[in-house]
């Protein structure tokens, strides 16, 4: 059941990002994080929260547990630092505000998720793990666009999570 939750949560993240891009034209040229403080941001907060909970649930008591917790903390941190940015600024304003904290949580998510892939990879998904690393780097090198690069990285990561979860059923 926990693998189904991961698959559905990964799909929810992708679906919300796509819907935000379709419904709100400015989001088409902005990063995923911009959707966390735009209209209907609660949908992306909820999707990130569901994915965080599903990752911890599926990994609890397994070798993936630490990596899932790291990724989950990063997902929640991303949501809080963007959605409640005024509150975060009041806490860390002297340190540059919420942007550096948000960036740190973004790094935490990708490090945790990358570790989750390495520990959770069952061989057949190795090519996709490689694509998760290389595709965003290639997109950045070709476009120098953060929004496109981030969406490619998040999309591939969610695809890997979905494929991993479904392969375990």
Which pLDDT value is given to residue 137? Answer: 92
Of the candidates 138, 161, 133, 159, the residue with the CA atom closest to the CA atom of residue 148? 138
Q: Could you say which residues of the chain have pLDDT below 70?
A: 121-122
6, 52, 85 from 81: Cα distances, Å: 23, 15, 5
Contact by Cβ (8 Å): 139, 149: yes
Which pLDDT value is given to residue 95? Answer: 73
Contact by Cβ (8 Å): 120, 64: yes
Contact by Cβ (8 Å): 45, 60: no
Which pLDDT value is given to residue 134? Answer: 92
Which pLDDT value is given to residue 122? Answer: 64
Predicted model pTM:
0.90
């Amino acid at each position: 059941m926990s693998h189904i939750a991961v698959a559905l949560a990964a799909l929810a993240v992708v679906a919300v990002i796509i819907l935000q891009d379709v419904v709100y034209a400015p989001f088409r040229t902005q990063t995923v994080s911009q959707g966390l403080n735009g209209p209907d941001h609660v949908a992306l907060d909820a999707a990130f929260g569901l994915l965080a909970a599903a990752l911890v649930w599926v990994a609890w008591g397994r070798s993936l547990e630490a990596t899932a917790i790291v990724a989950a903390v990063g997902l929640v941190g991303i949501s809080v630092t963007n959605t409640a940015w005024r509150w975060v600024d009041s806490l860390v304003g002297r340190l540059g505000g919420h942007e550096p904290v948000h960036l740190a949580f973004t790094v935490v998510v990708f490090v945790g998720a990358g570790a989750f892939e390495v520990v959770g990879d069952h061989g057949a998904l190795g090519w996709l793990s490689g694509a998760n690393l290389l595709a965003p780097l290639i997109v950045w090198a070709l476009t120098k666009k953060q929004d496109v690069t981030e969406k490619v990285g998040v999309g591939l990561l969610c695809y890997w999570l979905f494929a991993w979860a479904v392969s375990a059923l």
